[in-house]
Amino acid sequence: MAYTFKWSVLWTGESGRWLVQGLLTTLELSALAWLVAVALGILAGALRTVRFTPLRWAATAYVEFFRNVPLLVWMFFWYFGVPPLLPRGVQDWLFNHGAEFWAGMLALGVYHGARISEVIRSGIQSIPRTQFEASLAMGLTTFQAYRLIILPVALRLIVPPATNESLNLLKNSSVALTISVAELTFQTRQIETYTAKAIEALTAGTLIYLVLCLSIATIMARVERHYAIPGLIARVEPAG
Amino acid sequence: MTKTLAFVVALAVVFGLSGPAAAQQDTLEKIKSTGVLTIGTRTGSPPFAYINKNNEWVGFSIDLVEQVVKPSVERAVGRSIKVEKKESTPPTRIPLLTSNAVDLIAGTMTDTPQRRESVDFSLTFFYTGAQFLVKKGSPIKSINDIGGKRIAAQQGATNAKILREKYPQAQLREFPDQPAAFQALVQGQVDAYTNDGIQLYGLKAKAPNPDDWEVVGDFFSEEPYGMAMRKGDAKFKAAVDAGLKNAFESGKYFEIYDKWFGPKGELPYPMTAQVRAYLLKQIGK
C-alpha cells in the first residue's frame, strides 16, 4: 500500500529532455517578460512621480488595473480575449507561430511591470526633492533629470525588492501552462502522465526552481554590493 | 529471552506506528472510523461528472459510487457512510490518492499499464476511445487529416500521449482542463480537440449550439475507464469490485447506464454489443 519511489523515471526515457526543454522555455519566457516588465515598470514608476497630472493618472490607472486582477485571468485575457480583436489572417498566423507563448509573455510582463513600477516609484520617492531641483537649476530638462540623476540613483536603491519581484516573475511563469505553454511545470506534469510518478516529477521541478532562484538571488546580491551607494545606512559590507 | 522478545516486539510496534507503513492507513479502517468515503471526481465532464444547470454535482460515475460502491463499502465496514466529493483533474488525481486526500477516483480515468504501477483499478465501468471534435464542415475527418493542424488535448490524458508519439506531424496544444480546450476550439486557436469519444459527445451536447460541432474519426485509442485506488489495498479494492460486480449481475449497472446514456438519458449513447460483452466478460459471463 505504501508509495514506492522510482527516481529513475527522471532520467530514463524522454524525461531528461523534457525537463531541459521545459527549463529553457521557462527561462526564455521569464527573460522576455522581465525585459517588458522592467521597461514598463521604469516608465510607469517614473511617470507616477512627475508633476504633469494626466501622465500621472495614466500611469496610476495602468498600475492599479493590472496588479489588482489575478495573473491567471491575464493569461486567459491575452490568449482568449485579444486574438478575436485581430483580423482572421493575423490570428491564424499567430496561432501557428506560438500565440500561447507570446500571450503568456505579455501577461507575465505587463502584470509584473505594474508591480515593479511600485518598487521603482518608492526608489524615486526616497531621493530628496532637492536633487531634482538642483538638476533643473543646472539647466537639465525634466527628462534629462530623470534619465541622468533620479533614475540611476533610484535603481541602485531598489535592488533588493527588485530581486524579490524578479524571482516572483520567474515562479509565476508556471501559470502559463494554463494556456498550453510547455514550460517547466508543464513538463513535470508530462513526466507524471507518462510514468504516473507524481512525487518524483514534482520534486524534480521544485529543485530546478529552487536552484534557479538561488542562482539569481546570488547574482543579485553581488550586483547589490557592487552598486551600493556609499554612505547610506543600508549599505551591505563588502564580502571578506 | 521473553524480555528480549517483548523488547523487540515493542520496538517493532513503535517503529511500525511511526513509520510510513502505518501512515498509509487501511482505507476501509479509515472509512469505518470517519464514516466518510471521499472521492475525487470531475466538474466539467458531462455526463460522467459535472455541475448541472441546477448547480448540482452529478453524473454517471457519481451515481455508480452512490448507488453501487457505497452500499458495498457499507457492508464491508458494517455502518452507514456518506460520500464526499472533491475535484480531481488528470494531473492531480494520482497525487490526491497517494496523499490520502481522497480514497477513490471516480471520474473519467483510463486504466493503463503505467498507471497500474502507481494505483490499483476497479473493474472497468465504461469503455470508449479517442476521437476528434471539430467545427461542422472541417477538413479533419479522421486521424489521417491532422498533419500540420493544431490539435488541442487535455494534459495528462492518454490520447495526448498517443498523438505526441505516433502523430508528431500535428501541432499539439495541451490544456489543463476541458473548458479551456473547448474555448480554444471555439475561437480557432486550434482546429480540433481530441478526447475520449463519449466526452466529446457530452461536450457537444452541452455546447450553446450543438449542431455547429461534429465528432469525427474512428477510435484511435482504447480507453477503458476504471475507478482508481491506492495501490495494494486489497480489502478496499475487493469491496469496490464487489459492488460493481453485483451491479453488473443484478442489472443495476445497466439501469444507471440507461438513465444517463439511454434514449431518454442525458446523452443518448447506445451500448454496442462489443462493449456489453467486454464489460460482462470481467465477471466471467
Please say whether the beta carbons of B81 and B27 come within 8 A.
Answer: no
Segment B52-60 long-range contacts (CB within 8 Å, at least 24 positions apart)? B57/B85, B59/B260, B60/B126, B60/B256, B60/B257, B60/B259, B60/B260, B60/B261
CATH number of the domain that residue A50 is part of? 1.10.3720.10
Residues B41 and B118 in one domain: yes
Bridge-based pairing of strands B57-58 and B49-51 is antiparallel
Residues B205 and B255 in one domain: no
- Number of domains composing chain B: 2
Measured between alpha carbons, how far is B277 from B10 in angstroms, rounded to an integer?
A: 53
- Residue A160: is it exposed, middle or buried by C-beta count within 10 angstroms (0-12/13-18/19+)? middle
Which amino acid, B28? L
In a domain, B16, yes or no: no
Considering only CB atoms, B161 lies closest to which of A91, A92, A194, namely A194
CATH number of the domain that residue B158 is part of? 3.40.190.10
In a domain, A77, yes or no: yes
Which domain, by its residues, includes B68? 27-127+225-281
Write the pLDDT tens digit of every residue in A41-50: 999 999 999 9
Per-residue pLDDT at A98 exceeds 70: yes
* Residues of chain B contacting A189 with CB distance shorter than 8 Å: 91, 155-156
Write the pLDDT tens digit of every residue in A179-238: 999 999 999 988 888 887 888 888 999 999 999 999 999 999 999 989 888 877 655 555
Measured between alpha carbons, how far is A228 from A237 in angstroms, rounded to an integer?
A: 9
In a domain, B18, yes or no: no
Going residue by residue through chain B (285 aa), what tens digit of pLDDT does each one get? 455 545 554 544 444 444 444 345 699 999 999 999 999 999 988 889 999 989 999 999 999 999 999 999 999 999 999 999 999 988 889 889 988 999 999 999 999 998 998 899 999 999 999 999 999 999 999 999 999 999 999 987 888 889 988 999 999 999 988 889 999 999 999 999 999 999 899 889 888 999 999 999 988 988 999 999 999 999 999 999 999 999 999 999 999 999 999 988 888 888 888 889 999 999 887
Residue in B with minimal Cα distance to A193: B156
In a domain, B153, yes or no: yes
| A197–B contact, CB cutoff 8 A | yes
Residues B123 and B134 in one domain: no
**CB spacing of A83 vs B189 below 8 angstroms:** yes
**CB spacing of B24 vs A1 below 8 angstroms:** yes
In a domain, A143, yes or no: yes
Q: How many Cα neighbours within 13 Å face the side chain of A49?
A: 26
| A100–B contact, CB cutoff 8 A | yes
Residues B239 and B175 in one domain: no
* Residues of chain B contacting A192 with CB distance shorter than 8 Å: 91, 94, 156
In a domain, B12, yes or no: no
* Residues of chain A contacting B156 with CB distance shorter than 8 Å: 189, 192-193
3-state secondary structure of B50: strand
In a domain, A85, yes or no: yes
| A77–B contact, CB cutoff 8 A | no
Bridge-based pairing of strands B192-196 and B130-135 is antiparallel
Lowest average pLDDT, out of A3-7, A90-94, B96-100, goes to A3-7
Percent helix / strand / coil, chain A, rounded to 5: 80, 0, 20
In a domain, B4, yes or no: no
- Number of domains composing chain A: 1
Residues written for chain B: 285
Which domain, by its residues, includes A130? 25-181
In a domain, A196, yes or no: no
Q: What is the ipTM of this complex?
A: 0.77
Residues written for chain A: 240
Running DSSP on this structure, what letter comes out for residue A173? G
Per-residue pLDDT at A65 exceeds 50: yes
CA distances from B121 to A202, B70, B128, B238 (A): 23, 17, 16, 11
Residues B172 and B249 in one domain: no
In a domain, A235, yes or no: no
Q: Which of B169, B194, B221 is the last residue of a domain?
A: B221
**CB spacing of A1 vs B188 below 8 angstroms:** no
What sign does the CA torsion over B127, B130, B135, B141 have?
negative
Residues B166 and B272 in one domain: no
In a domain, A115, yes or no: yes
